[in-house]
Amino acid sequence: MYDVIIRGGTIVDGTGAPPVTGDLAVKDGRIVEMGQVDGSATRVVDADGALVTPGWVDVHTHYDGQATWDDALEPSASNGVTTVVMGNCGVGFAPVRPGDEAGLIDLMEGVEDI
């Protein structure tokens, strides 16, 4: 028995191979079968008409401040982003010396207002 089967989606595997319509089976957090998957699962997702892709990596974000109050980093998480890179614009929240937090917050509020 699988943990999850995603059925009937258009699978884009990230290798550059053409998309295929099929199923994915997941067990213990890993994809263990792709194609026409027989068997059962604790959860079955109907992906007909949807893309099934690896998680996206967003290499340019401005989440440095938002990460302190929004641990889901919406809307990225709901759009398939599983990894974000922060602090790549030359301004970020880490590291910050104790006592310098308020000044950094003022700076970032000004940047975000732009």
Domains of the chain: 2-52 (2.30.40.10), 56-113 (no CATH)
pTM score, whole prediction: 0.64
pLDDT tens sequence across 45-79? 999 999 999 989 999 887 877 777 787 888 888 88
Residue 37: CB atoms within 10 A of its CB come to 19
Asked if 113 and 69 touch (Cβ cutoff 8 Å), the reply is no
pLDDT at 8: 98
Rounded Cα distance, 36 and 103, in Å: 56
In the predicted model, what is the mean pLDDT of the chain? 88
Rounded Cα distance, 54 and 26, in Å: 13
Q: What percent of the chain has pLDDT over 90?
A: 48
